[in-house]
Amino acid sequence: MKSNSLHNLTIAIVTRNRPRQLHACLRSLHQQEMPPLQTIIVDNDISQSAYTVYYQWKDLVKGLRYHLEKTPGISSARNAALKKCQTKYIAFIDDDCLLDTEWMRTAFKLIMDDSYDYFVGLTKPSSQKKLPLLFAEMNMKSNGKRSILEIHSPSRTEKNSLIYHQGLNTRNAIIKMDLVRKHQLTFDAIFNRFPIGGGEDSDFGYQLIYYGARDKFAPNLIVFHDEPNTIWKVTVKAFYRGITQCQALVKWGSPLTVVNLSIVSEWVTIVRNYRVHDLKNENDIELKIALFIYYRFIHFIGFNYMIRKIQKNKNVFGLYYYLKKFEVIKTDK
């Protein structure tokens, strides 16, 4: 392994009022055999709840830095990390994630391949309780599956072509800074207004793809994450993810094309996986499918709630727009 790869990576951990989770995250970073050049804690809490944790670890984690971002919102915090990054690559890790013991070694191997612009890693559940395991498994069924984005990219010859890409998830991702700096890319501040659900990372991934980014799913780049442990938390997460996904896709001009092609395809893939594999080898198959359908239903409600709010259209279901776009529904001109 080239020694200079150690100086090509900055890890950014965005946090807000979660000192316990941040402490555990830094412990997992401290246990890595190889340190990155720099690790930046971006504290988005005006009361500086992360500073005490930073002070405890600053002499133990090599290159650990602290930055207070006073503008509230996840996009503002991530943009602060981009501004502070001076290396060729930046890795975003959520503050409630634990790095696998081989995470850093895997990361350095990945960034030695200069042909990709971002890598998306794998997330596994940190809890062994039934609901978090089922929720994580539901999401892991679609890990590595490529989404569909319909945009006009100046780096491609076809106008409004369907572009297959690996959705960006900043819970566990490595991004090359070349395109970011060249085109002055930022996380859109419109997502600051959503308390949970993300969306800013999907939108940032769309920006990268727009400028011709090459992406790769890295299943050996693993973090462990606390998944929802109550049905209420699953409900809230699904609803806000529907809202933020709609916001991102509306911004890019073709929300229903993307949603109906990519999500329906994902549904088919997951159900097929369950039919072929789980029915033979695993228990709780009915519960798994029920949770999957429930989550997607709440996600669908959140998505269409946002459509009504943005477009102020009387038609409740996004399927209407999908059918209209492909002229299955005829409208008077």
Q: What pLDDT sits at residue 103?
A: 96
Cα distance between residue 4 and residue 111, in whole Å:
11
Q: What pLDDT sits at residue 93?
A: 96
Is 333 domain-assigned? no
Is 320 domain-assigned? yes
Q: What pLDDT sits at residue 159?
A: 43
The whole-model pTM stands at: 0.79
Is 204 domain-assigned? yes
Which class for 176: exposed (0-12), middle (13-18), buried (19 or more C-beta within 10 A)? buried
Is 331 domain-assigned? no
CATH number of the domain where residue 125 is located: 3.90.550.10
Mean pLDDT of the chain: 77
Is 52 domain-assigned? yes
Measure the CA angle with vertex 65, ends 61 and 68; round to 5°. Answer: 140
Look at the chain and report how many structural domains it folds into: 1
Is 332 domain-assigned? no
Domain around 60: 3-325
Is 275 domain-assigned? yes
Measure the CA angle with vertex 11, ends 5 and 15; round to 5°. Answer: 175
What burial letters (b/e) apply to 209-226, b meaning 16+ CB within 10 Å? bbbebebbebeebbbbbb
233 band by pLDDT with thresholds 50, 70 and 90: confident
Encode pLDDT of 251-297 as tens digits. 776 544 444 444 555 555 555 554 444 444 455 666 777 777 788 78
Is 281 domain-assigned? yes
Which tokens sit at 110?
Answer: 């990945």
Does residue 142 have a pLDDT over 50? yes
Encode pLDDT of 121-140 as tens digits. 988 888 777 777 776 766 65
